[in-house]
Amino acid sequence: MRGRTVFYTVAVLTVALGVGGYFFAAGRPQVTTAPVTRGPAAAAVYATGTVEPVTWAKVGPIVAGRVAAIFVRDGAVVTAGRPLAQLDDREAKARLAELEARERYWRDELQRQTTLAERGFASRDARERAQSEFLQAQAATSAQRQRIADLTLIAPMEGVVLRQDYEVGEVVDKQHVLFWIGQPRPLRITADVDEEDIPRVKIGQRTLIKADAFPGETLAGIVGEITPKGDPVNKSYRVRIALPVDTKLHIGMTTEINVIVETRENVLLAPSEAVRAGRVFVVEDGVARRRRVTTGILGRGMVEIRDGLNEGEQVVVNPPESLADGARVRPVPLASSEPAG
């Protein structure tokens, strides 16, 4: 019986120690950690933009009217001056016939008054009035012919019909664009950069481009133009990114751009979410130690550490507000940490 009592006592003690150890571990907060690594750091200016041809033009009506005919469609090759579409000109031509008849009448009247004046049968005032009426009729006829010409949309340059909108029967006015004419290559991206970032952007800087059409790919470009005058309403400057001839991007695609404004090689890097107000928590033997750091280039997800950390040290990513210096923690590597619920 005595031996059995000792056995029970040891067993109970073992269970108690196990439960105590469980509660001790459970009392330590779990934190996500990541190592301090080495690599290149790059500072970038972010912007969004749209892909467009370098050479292109919008073609719309000068006057309002109803579309009577479409002569070309998407993808058609056109030469400068080629008719693209015709607006209804029947009313305009009827008006022209009236004005031409009026012009002929006053031309004949001017000739008659001139002949009479030469023979002394007409006053000088009558001839001058006929001449004035004729000139006015002539100007009105010329203006109406121009109005009729304006009802025909003409290609302003040689190129390809990049896009054609609106169909026969629709009413359009000066605000509508019926055709986009241009050269399919070369292409560029027109982007708007915040005025606070524009001093760091220079012609010739490398850009990294993302587009939804090519997930997981980073495309290349170069800063080609920076508009000298900014937009005071949107507080931005227009920047044009030159693209290589063989770019995968298509006209009209929306893109995200990172203009690389500074690079540094072989520097210490830590997750940017580990740094709070110039401090980080380093986990040493299960204890979180607060440490002051000096940071440099802030990239996407990583920040350069210029002082305060060593390569390989484990830092706490997104440290909880309640985490205190010297607190015991349960570190979980970032790659294997459970997703936040």
Residue-wise pLDDT tens digits, 168-192: 999 999 999 999 999 999 999 999 9
Secondary-structure class of domain 27-40+265-336 per CATH = mainly beta
Residue 28 pLDDT class (50, 70, 90 cuts): confident
Closest by CA to 271, choosing from 315, 240, 336, is 315
Q: What is the pLDDT of residue 27?
A: 64
Domain ranges of the chain: 27-40+265-336, 45-54+182-264, 90-150
CA dihedral for 147, 152, 156, 161, sign (positive or negative): positive
In this structure, whether the domain defined by 45-54+182-264 belongs to CATH 2.40.30.170 is answered with: yes
What is the chain's length?
Answer: 341
Q: Give the pLDDT confidence of 268-301 residue by residue, as tens digits.
A: 999 999 999 999 999 999 999 999 999 998 877 8
Angle separating helix axes 90-119 and 124-150, nearest 10 degrees: 160
Mean pLDDT of the chain: 88
Is the whole model's pTM more than 0.75, yes or no?
no
The separation between the first and the last C-alpha atoms of the chain, rounded to the nearest angstrom, is 53
Q: Which amino acid is present at 122?
A: A
**pLDDT tens per residue, range 188-243:** 999 999 999 999 999 999 999 999 999 989 999 999 999 999 999 999 999 999 99
Look at strands 187-194 and 206-211 and give their pairing. unpaired
pLDDT of residue 299: 77
Among residues 157, 177, 164, 185, which one has the least CA distance to residue 251? 185
Check whether 253 has a pLDDT greater than 50: yes
User: How far is it, in rounded angstroms, from Cα 39 to Cα 37?
Assistant: 7
Q: Do domains 27-40+265-336 and 45-54+182-264 have the same CATH topology?
A: no
